[in-house]
Amino acid sequence: MQRPGKRISKMHDKKTMMTGKISDNRSVAPGHFLMRLRLPSSFATPAPGQFVMIRAAAQGEPLLARPLSVFDFHRYPDHCVLELLYRVAGRGTALFSGMRPGDEATVLGPLGRGFTLPAGIRRTLLVAGGVGVAPLHFLIRSGLPTVRGQSPGAATFYLGAKSRDLLTGVEGLGGRCDLRICTDDGSRGHCGPVTDLLKRDIDDCDPKETVVFACGPAPMIRVLEPLLKDTLIPCQVSLEERMACGIGACLGCAIAVGGPGRKTEYRKVCEDGPVFDLRDILPVAPFDSREGCI
């Protein structure tokens, strides 16, 4: 179980639904877009790891909103700006990619439970694959090293993608952490999965002073469990999961949790997560067509 700790920033349980106006929606990689949405100042500041449900305000389809993790957030005196990174993987995100500045979108959030900083942490390892970079990018941008009073070098960010042209979020991480890049085809950085580099470093980490934060595809998450099993290093995982409502009503995002010697129970990713202790979740089943990073 995870050691007692504190939230990276204040967690807001109050859900608000409001309409925002798109200020930018640009392609940042093949099939990947970064949307900037201007919202009223009354929108609560999300904590790293939380997400929103979003749908185009002027379109009858898709009927259901889509869950997207917060990539970044900026607050100004009279408004705030929400940044969302997404990959086009279905009808909903295809519609999002066609939206232009001035178009309106309905946003429900911030939702879910985010990351917790265990007590006594001096070294942070962040592991992201694909659009799983979004919540961890927000975590670093929210001032994780400042919270710990440590230098940026105390945080190591392992970022992976299939190829260099699919790497996203790199420019926002510069100077804030020790960035290690991996690509499946070797076109940039280490050739292979991010867990290769993590495996090299993990033995040098003090489990009492280290925490791992992760978000990425199911194969990556499945590798993390045996890699960290005997280290006693706490690991929090933001799960990518399909959702219909985002508020725990439909039960469509329920996952099995348990662990050695514990009874299997079910938790709702949208309400009890999306961040879970890696050792609490049962084997992650593979699935495709992820649209955001939830």
Looking at the structure, give the CATH architecture of the domain made up of residues 114-239.
Answer: 3-Layer(aba) Sandwich (3.40)
Q: Which residues pair with 128 in a beta bridge?
A: 159, 215
Contact between residue 246 and residue 223 where contact means Cβ atoms under 8 Å apart: no
- CATH homologous superfamily for the domain 14-111: Translation factors (2.40.30.10)
* Closest C-alpha to 213, from 104, 138, 291, 111: 138
- Beta carbons within 10 angstroms of residue 120's beta carbon: 14
- Beta carbons within 10 angstroms of residue 230's beta carbon: 8
User: For the chain, what are the domain ranges?
Assistant: 14-111, 114-239
Longest Cα–Cα distance of the chain, Å, equals 54
Q: Give pTM, 2 decimals.
A: 0.87
Tens of pLDDT along the chain (294 residues)?
A: 445 455 555 555 667 899 999 999 999 999 999 999 999 999 999 999 999 999 987 766 656 789 999 999 999 999 999 999 999 998 889 999 999 999 999 999 999 999 988 888 889 999 999 999 999 999 998 876 544 555 555 899 999 999 999 999 998 887 788 999 999 999 999 999 999 999 999 988 999 999 999 999 888 988 998 898 888 899 999 987 777 667 767 777 888 887 667 788 888 888 888 999 998 886 655 444 444 555
